[in-house]
Amino acid sequence: MQRRRRRTTLALGLLAAAAVLTACTGSHHKDGDEQRPADPDLPVRTRAVAATDALLAAYDTVIAGPGAGRAGELQPLRAELLRHRAAFAEGLPSAAPTAGGSTGASSSTGSPGGSGPAGGATATTTATASAEPAAVTTVAELGAAERRTAQARLADLPAASPDLARLLAAVSASDALHAVALGDTTPVTAPAPAPTAAASAPASASASGPAAASSSAATSPTTPATTTGPGSPAASAAPLPDGTAAALQSALAAEHAAVYGYGVVGARLPDDQQRTDARAAFATHEARRDTWRRLLAGAGATPGAAAAGYQLPFAVADAAGAARLAAHIEARLTDVYGELVAALPADRRVAAADALRGTALQARRWGSAGTAFPGLPEPAAASPSGPAAPTPTG
């Protein structure tokens, strides 16, 4: 009996030791899980979803009320918002929409009437709840809400990963297109970035340049201007990170081709408003070309030169062909600038996003069908055929 009791005592001791080891191991794994870094894009995606939900709710209100007669016009725009939401919600399991397409969990910081997204990790704050603006109830207010949301999305560009930054820029451009379609011609201006030691100039993300001019339905770009505020490619002459110079050279080459192409466009148009628009677009592309050239040179790179000649993607014999070429050039440039948004350092993305929005608006103005995600590649079946722009011949 005594030997059995001793054997039992030893067994219990081993079990107790095993339990302690298991507890320690479990605690170690749990601590490791808690210390695992969170997805850095999670706060940005959360704010983007909240802002899109607020727009969806605004569309539902307008369609059910005074905008009922324009439901046929509003529903396709709302459908694009649902696609935006699905793209932003990837990796957010709790962000499933309701049957109506909206979670209904919008906040003052994500509201279409708000001035921009919050800076924290969550989309809802109580500090600004009392300042929430009145609900959107008319088509005009809906257009203004789209424009403000397009502007607010740019505030998150520096905080996003390259791929998410490209998505933000694309959706911001789409929001701007929606705003113009709904009658809001106020230029989109980027909010000021967080102050840093290297960025102390006043924020003015091309308010009078290509993006602002092309966001108006009444006037296409009328004066070439370059972005000179924080985030501008001309704001710093620091060396460019790996891969950035190549993307800038691609943008520069595309602008060289665009300048050539618009020379052809202007020559085929009658002396009317279209030719005036083409001249303004020509000047805008010259300004962008010079901006990228200065940035490359300031970083110690040799800017690519224009080709001796270019092959047009199709024959241009009349005004209709000229307008088609202008639309083709601008639509193709959106892809170039989508790539550039992802390639640029965080503090320089706004300039590329401005160019992306400007080309998307101009493409629509010249008759391009457009896309829900300007600057992101479309499925092969939906992509237009032909070269990206007039191509070098020598």
Cα–Cα distances in Å, from 174 out to 6, 238, 285, 316, 372? 78, 32, 21, 29, 6
Instruction: Give which of 47, 348, 291, 345 is closest to 171, Cα–Cα.
Output: 47
Q: pTM for the whole thing?
A: 0.73
Q: What is the pLDDT of residue 94?
A: 66
User: Phi and psi for 205 in degrees, rounded to 5?
Assistant: -75, 75
pLDDT at 38: 73
CB 337 within 8 A of CB 361: no
Quote the pLDDT of residue 389.
64
Asked if residues 227 and 319 have their Cβ atoms less than 8 Å apart, the reply is: no
**Given 3.30.70.270, 1.10.10.10, 1.20.1260.10, 1.10.3210.10, which CATH number is that of 225-394?**
1.20.1260.10
Q: In this predicted model, what pLDDT tens digit does every residue of 320-350 receive, in sequence order?
A: 999 999 999 999 999 999 999 999 999 899 9
Q: What is the pLDDT, as a whole number, of residue 269?
A: 94
Which pLDDT does position 67 carry in this prediction? Answer: 82
Tell me what the mean pLDDT of segment 153-172 comes to.
96
Looking at residue 100, what is its pLDDT?
Answer: 45
pLDDT top residue among 237 and 240:
240
**Of 138-147, 160-169, 228-237, 274-283, which range is least confident?**
228-237
List strand residue ranges (DSSP E) for the chain, in order: 310-311, 391-392
Q: Given a cut of 80, is residue 63 above it in pLDDT?
A: yes
pLDDT for residue 204 is more than 90: no
Q: Is the pLDDT of residue 193 over 60?
A: no
- The yes-or-no verdict on residue 365 having pLDDT over 90 is yes
Parallel, antiparallel or unpaired: strands 310-311 and 391-392: antiparallel
Instruction: Say what the pLDDT of residue 85 is.
Output: 97
Domain assignments of the chain as residue spans, ordered by start: 39-191, 225-394
Average pLDDT over residues 85-110: 60
Q: Over 60: is that where the pLDDT of 81 sits?
A: yes
| End-to-end Cα distance, the chain | 102
pLDDT band at 11 (very low <50, low <70, confident <90, very high): very low
- Which residues face 392 on adjacent strands? 310
Q: Is the pLDDT of residue 215 over 70?
A: no
Q: Which of 41-50, 68-77, 89-98, 113-122 has the lowest mean pLDDT?
A: 113-122
CB atoms within 10 A of CB 201: 12
Question: Looking at the predicted structure, is the pLDDT value of residue 190 above 80?
Answer: no
Query: Of residues 269 and 13, which shows the higher confidence score?
Result: 269
Cβ-in-10-Å burial (0-12, 13-18, 19+) of 32 comes to exposed
Per-residue CA distances from 138 to 52, 145, 377 (Å): 18, 10, 33
